[in-house]
């Protein structure tokens, strides 16, 4: 379907009966307001539903005009603000904004039952002498299994392969109103030399896993203690987490399914490879 | 520490050496710009780090002034925009914005090996005759195990108890640049009468689980087929997912840890209850 053209903006139709407007050229707010008013009346006649305005940071002079036209904020990233308006007189089906950040922690053990640990320079554990597993944030668009390998490499220099998600926890209001999900992952080390270049890391070493679990900060904190118990069970071959099986979604995207693959009689990945 | 007072705004210090400014009263953009300039020079002298401005939607006339003062967007919700500025000449430690939305799907089976399924009125599966598991989005601040019970109740009227996360998949660019995580959960039905009131649901029924898995849309789609295989393994007592164990984080928040609790010799929840 051919979209309407508006000077200084790109106009795309989405597959939900809506329109996405992206401001590309500088313009004054009066000119923007009048173009928007004209287009909105056209889109209303055409039975359009959700109208989106993508306003890059450098066009922040236009935010107020969009809000005066009835738009509300939907989400923002560093360099743009997305606003939305629902035209029909029905409850909107505008998708919710992202609500969670993801974090990962790495349980990396060598064949001497030593676990890879770090001391952080700042934050909650800075200066406490606590040895903890390498942890970090999953980047936008990054797979959990890739993020945890990257964090270990950055913080310790050690190369690893992903084995399993051992456990995860969800917590709320961790940052403003946002929630987070933290995935504890087991990794298999592929190298052993420690070379930390991350400014947030004070020290790194291989530590007997029993010494790790015996630290007071682990034993006195229910969550850390649970996680240590899971890791010890895993080392004793008594635990199965979720492994990552590559698959394809119905819309054709490559994606990972995380599941207890050991529990499936013919493993999913194996049955796929034979197919 | 006593924060500076600014007319028409609240000023709070955060625990990372930063300041959170919230605009409360209407003001013109020139007055806002001059107050901001004054405060910024004070905060720079004081060695403050991240400066946050929370601008409610009704004060959108001030966005442009904040951007001209060097602020960038951090995130936005329907009713406010959060901007941020990092004062020190060092790499910033500003936390990333939320990157993921969460969804849930419910595998609910009665003791006749019938699975609870729905037909949707619209969307990808509207009018296709496909019977699928109830699915939905996790609300902000909601636990996964609560969200899936709520969705089943809304879509089918059936009361359930949470059993396990059977598997999850992560996918990217599902909505603008955002990613999503979808959790397939097993639930135990506590009631059996179907009463759907959700406008997005065309029909609901209990369906023999083998008939569900034999639908062409399930068999022809790798991801749905994998999920059906997991569900069938679970029914045949060959599968263990992650159950939800309540715990407390180091900062004292109640939270759920999801893990293979069956695999831990003395179950974590049991050992906790004895403690």
Q: Find the residue in B nearest to A123 (Cα).
A: B16
Burial class (CB in 10 A: 0-12, 13-18, 19+), B22: middle
Is the minimum CB–CB distance between A248 and chain B shorter than 8 Å? yes
Q: Is the pLDDT of residue A99 over 50?
A: yes
Interface mutation target, options A63, A103, A175, chain B, most CBs of B under 10 Å: A63
CA distance A141 to B179: 6
Asked if the Cβ–Cβ distance from A172 to B141 is below 8 Å, we say yes
Using one digit for the tens of pLDDT, what is the confidence trace for B95-154?
A: 888 889 999 999 999 999 999 999 988 777 888 889 999 999 998 889 999 999 999 999
Q: Is the pLDDT of residue B271 over 70?
A: no
Using one digit for the tens of pLDDT, what is the confidence trace for A123-165?
A: 778 888 899 999 999 988 899 999 999 999 999 999 999 999 9
* % of chain A at pLDDT higher than 70: 95
Is the minimum CB–CB distance between B146 and chain A shorter than 8 Å? no
Using one digit for the tens of pLDDT, what is the confidence trace for B38-69?
A: 999 999 999 999 999 999 999 999 999 999 99
Is the minimum CB–CB distance between A59 and chain B shorter than 8 Å? no
Q: What are the chain A neighbours of B255 within 8 Å (beta carbons)?
A: 169-172, 223
Asked if the Cβ–Cβ distance from A176 to B82 is below 8 Å, we say yes
Q: What average pLDDT score do residues A204-231 get?
A: 91
Q: Is the pLDDT of residue B4 over 70?
A: no
Q: Which of the residues of B are catalytic?
A: 154
Q: Is the pLDDT of residue A53 over 80?
A: yes
A112/chain B closest Cα distance in angstroms: 22
Whether the CA torsion B39, B44, B46, B47 is positive or negative: it is positive
Using one digit for the tens of pLDDT, what is the confidence trace for B158-206?
A: 999 999 999 999 998 777 778 899 999 999 999 999 987 777 888 999 9
Residue A134, classed as helix, strand or coil, is: coil
CA distance B113 to B160: 16
Q: Is the pLDDT of residue B245 over 50?
A: yes
Is the minimum CB–CB distance between B147 and chain A shorter than 8 Å? no
Q: Are A65 and B64 in contact (CB under 8 A)?
A: no
Residue A155 structure tokens:
């913080």
What is the helix (H) or strand (E) element at residue A36, kind and residue range?
helix A29-45
- The confidence score (pLDDT) of residue B275 equals 44
Find the catalytic residue in A4, A13, A154, A200: A154
Q: Are A258 and A185 in contact (CB under 8 A)?
A: no
Using one digit for the tens of pLDDT, what is the confidence trace for A111-120?
A: 999 999 999 8
Asked if the Cβ–Cβ distance from B73 to A74 is below 8 Å, we say no
Whether the CA torsion A271, B222, B161, A240 is positive or negative: it is positive
- The confidence score (pLDDT) of residue A259 equals 95
- The confidence score (pLDDT) of residue A142 equals 94
Q: What are the chain B neighbours of A97 within 8 Å (beta carbons)?
A: 76-77, 98, 101
| Rg for chain A, CA atoms, rounded | 25
CA distance A268 to B229: 8
Nearest to A168 among B75, B178, B258 (CB): B258
B68/chain A closest Cα distance in angstroms: 9
- The confidence score (pLDDT) of residue B124 equals 76
The ipTM, to two decimals, is 0.87
Q: Is the pLDDT of residue A34 over 70?
A: yes
Phi, psi dihedral angles at B134 (to 5 degrees): -60, 135
Closest CA to B213 of B114, B95, B134: B114
Confidence band of B221 (pLDDT split at 50, 70, 90): confident
- The confidence score (pLDDT) of residue A210 equals 93
Which one has a higher pLDDT value, A110 or B94? A110
Interface mutation target, options B70, B170, B264, chain A, most CBs of A under 10 Å: B170
Is the minimum CB–CB distance between B44 and chain A shorter than 8 Å? no
- The confidence score (pLDDT) of residue A69 equals 96
DSSP designation for A16: T
Confidence band of A122 (pLDDT split at 50, 70, 90): confident
Nearest to B263 among A64, A124, A233 (CB): A233
CA distance B32 to A67: 19
Confidence band of B35 (pLDDT split at 50, 70, 90): very high
Q: From the centroid of its chain, how far is CA B50?
A: 26
Q: What average pLDDT score do residues B13-18 get?
A: 87
Q: From the centroid of its chain, how far is CA A111?
A: 32
Asked if the Cβ–Cβ distance from B100 to A101 is below 8 Å, we say yes
Q: Which of A91-105, A252-266, B125-139, B178-192 reaches the highest mean pLDDT?
A: B178-192
CB atoms inside a 10 Å sphere around CB A261: 21
B42/chain A closest Cα distance in angstroms: 25
* % of chain A at pLDDT higher than 90: 67
Beta-carbon contacts of A26 under 8 Å, excluding residues fewer than 6 positions away, are A8, A58, A59
Interface mutation target, options A73, A166, A183, A227, chain B, most CBs of B under 10 Å: A73
Phi, psi dihedral angles at B9 (to 5 degrees): -140, 155
Q: Residues A101-130, buried b or exposed e (16+ Cβ, 10 A)?
A: bbbbbbbbbeeeebbbbbbbeeeebeeeeb
């Amino acid at each position: 379907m051919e979209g309407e053209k508006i000077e200084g903006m790109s106009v795309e139709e989405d597959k939900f009966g809506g329109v996405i407007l992206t401001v590309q050229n500088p313009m004054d707010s009066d000119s923007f307001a009048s173009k928007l008013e004209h287009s909105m009346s056209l889109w209303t006649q055409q039975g359009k539903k959700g109208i989106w305005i993508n306003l890059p940071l450098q066009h922040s002079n236009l935010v107020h005009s969009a809000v005066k036209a009835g738009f509300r904020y939907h989400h923002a990233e560093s360099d743009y603000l997305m606003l939305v308006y629902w035209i029909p007189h029905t409850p909107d089906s505008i998708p919710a904004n992202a609500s969670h950040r993801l974090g990962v922690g790495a349980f990396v053990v060598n064949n001497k039952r030593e676990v890879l640990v770090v001391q952080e320079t700042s934050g909650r554990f800075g200066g406490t002498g606590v040895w903890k597993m390498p942890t970090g944030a999953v980047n936008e668009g990054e797979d959990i299994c890739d993020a945890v390998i990257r964090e270990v490499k950055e913080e310790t220099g050690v190369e690893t392969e992903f084995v399993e998600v051992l456990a995860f926890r969800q917590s709320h209001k961790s940052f403003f109103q946002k929630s987070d999900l933290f995935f504890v992952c087991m990794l298999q080390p592929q190298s052993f030399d420690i070379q930390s270049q991350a400014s947030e890391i004070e020290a790194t070493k291989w530590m007997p896993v029993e010494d790790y679990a015996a630290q007071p900060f682990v034993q006195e904190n229910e969550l850390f203690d649970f996680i240590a118990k899971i890791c010890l069970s895993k080392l004793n071959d008594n635990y199965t987490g979720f492994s990552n099986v590559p698959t394809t979604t119905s819309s054709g995207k490559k994606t990972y399914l995380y599941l207890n693959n050991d529990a499936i009689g013919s493993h999913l990945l194996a049955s796929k490879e034979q197919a």
